[in-house]
Structure 1
């Protein structure tokens, strides 16, 4: 797929001028901007919201996060993020997570963040995770003449810090898996490599936890922006404690002689899986709070 059928018809009917830019498969809007070598400020992403009255499409730059309370005040509605199942029904010709920002093409009321105004050009998803529409900024806004324009997004400095540490943690987990799955012919060498990988993971996890739980950190911001998610925040904190405890326990086993290499390998791989589940849950929490897709991996 390179261009959704509905989007193609909508652009054709309005004789819109645009080009299609291809890039490697991406998982998030941030990844898309990086792979396409474009500024995140010029990449318009879509967030689908709903309430009992119907759906709303929020459009904002990839560099910013949705402020749900601001769009609620603008519309006088109590909104929440739509489920994946509903998005599949709304956009049957699009890959999940690649919703074009032209809500009118799908009959959806649309609200655009004011920071997109004045852009020389705008890029947006064409319906999959490999192609972007590139369009003149004025023409883009002309296609959205019926949409509302308001300040519905904010900078994501806190999220950017969390994302950097998230990537560090992800790299550490890959290193741990490689070390754990390496051949065990030389047990001492295998244990030494695994120990180094675990120590690297401890540092990455400690950095991640410090940023997440510190004053003004990600979890504090989630609590402030979405108090209803306090149970999820508490679960994140408890998981931090449990995961670090497991790291240190396995480190002790690696340095000792009482546990077999096979058992240590099993525990190390289970630890990596538990960390990955935690990262998926954190990604869901960020999306639920800020409307920012940071990827589950």
Structure 2
């Protein structure tokens, strides 16, 4: 189990109580949730977007949801698209490919959080590898994202 260096420093600096939870190696947040026997609705995943002016943003949503780019673009008055994977790998070079910690401030990125994430009393976040989660209480997660935008912009992909 390896936690992203930047995420570890950020959580320490913000005095966040968390547990590191091991799970079988997987390739995405949804399969990690299933492997760890955790409700995918409690797992926050990050998707990196870029708008028509080249500004990047982290969108954070439950692992069992898919982003609605049209709705998000309309609500934020920007024209978003997914950025190329190679650019994501360069931005998150302290993480395994695709295991992005879903806290924008860790990487000095603007972020928007789906309101569905705070419906659970506890959350699991990608730690920066495909073998562990950061587990924390909702109150700690809310404290970390208190200055970020939040709204509804996703829909469930599995039941």
Q: Does 1:84 align with 2:85?
A: yes
Map residues 134-213 of structure 1 onto 2, 5 A cutoff. Answer: 134-157=135-158
- Can you give the 5+ residue segments of structure 2 that lack an aligned partner in the other structure? none
Question: Whose radius of gyration is greater, 1 or 2?
Answer: 1
- Aligned counterpart, 2:3: 3
How far, CA to CA, are the matches of 1:28 and 1:93 in structure 2? 17
Q: Which residue matches 2:108? A: 107
1:117 aligned counterpart, secondary structure: helix
The answer to whether the 8 Å contact 2:57/2:112 transfers is yes
Shift of 1:92: 1.0
Which 4+ runs in 1 deviate beyond 6 A?
Answer: none
Deviation at 1:89, TM superposition (A): 1.7
Alpha-carbon shift at residue 74 of structure 1 (Å) = 2.0
Q: Give CA-to-partner distance per residue, 1:70-97, whole Å, 9 cap, x none.
A: 1111221111111111112211101111
Q: CA deviation at 1:116?
A: 1.0
Q: Looking at both structures, which has the greater relative contact order when contacts are Cα pairs under 8 Å and sequence separation is at least 6?
A: 2
What secondary structure does 1:20 align onto?
strand
1: distance between equivalents of 2:92 and 2:75? Answer: 25
TM-score (norm 1): 0.52
1:53 to partner: Cα distance: 3.5
CA RMSD, 1 decimal: 1.2
TM-score, length of structure 2 as denominator length = 0.95
Secondary structure, counterpart of 1:57 in structure 2: strand
SS where residue 119 of structure 2 aligns? coil
SS of the residue 1:110 aligns to: strand
Alignment correspondent of 1:50: 50
Query: Does 2:39 align with 1:39?
Result: yes
Q: Distance in 1 between matches of 2:91 and 2:119?
A: 30
Q: Which structure has more helix as a fraction of its residues?
A: 1
The reply to whether residue 13 of structure 1 matches residue 10 of structure 2 is no
Gaps spanning 5+ residues in structure 1: where?
Answer: 161-297
